[in-house]
Chains A and B, each alone.
Chain A
Amino acid sequence: MSDNANKTDKPSAAEAALLPPVDVVEDGGGITLYAELPGVPKDQLVLQVEADTLTIAGEIRLAMPEGMESSHVEVNVPRYRRVFTLSKELDTQQIAAEFDKGVLRLRIPKAAHAQPRKIEIRVD
Chain B
Amino acid sequence: MLYRNLYPRDLFAELDRLQRALQQGGDVSPNIRGGSRGGYPAMNVGGTPNSVEIYAFLPGIDPAAIEVQLEKGVLTIAGERRIEYPRNDEKTTVHIDERFAGRFRRVVTLPDDIDPNAVHARYRDGVLHVSIARAAAAQPRRIVIQ
Contacts and interface: CB of A to CB of B under 8 A. Distances in A.
Interface of A: 19, 21-28, 31-32, 34, 36-41, 61-75, 100-103, 116
Given A67-B49, A68-B53, A74-B37, A21 B98 contact: yes
Interface in B36-62: 37-38, 42-51, 53, 55, 57-61
B142 interface: no
Interface stretch (B2-10, B11-19, B69-77, B85-93): B85-93
16 contacts: A21-B100, A22-B96, A25-B92, A32-B86, A34-B99, A36-B99, A38-B59, A40-B125, A63-B124, A65-B53, A65-B131, A71-B46, A72-B46, A74-B43, A101-B59, A102-B127
B129 A63 contact: yes
B130 to A, nearest CB: 12
Chain A binding surface SS class: loop
Which residue, B38, B43, B96, has most C-beta atoms of chain A within 10 A?
A: B96
Given A36-B59, A69-B46, A101 B99 contact: no
B44 A37 contact: no
Given A23-B83, A74-B38, 14 more contacts: A34-B83, A40-B125, A62-B55, A62-B127, A65-B48, A65-B53, A67-B49, A68-B46, A68-B53, A69-B48, A72-B46, A74-B57, A75-B55, A101-B123
Contact of A38 (B37, B50, B51, B58): B58
List the 7 shortest-distance A-B pairs measured between CB atoms, nearest first.
Answer: A102-B126, A102-B59, A38-B126, A103-B60, A21-B98, A38-B59, A72-B45
Contacts of B89: 27
A76 B146 CA distance: 47
A24 B53 contact: no
Contacts of A24: 94-96
Nearest to A33: B96
A23 B44 CA distance: 24
A96 B46 CA distance: 37
Contacts of B97: 23
Nearest to B54: A72
Contacts of B45: 70-73
B117 interface: no
A28 B96 contact: no
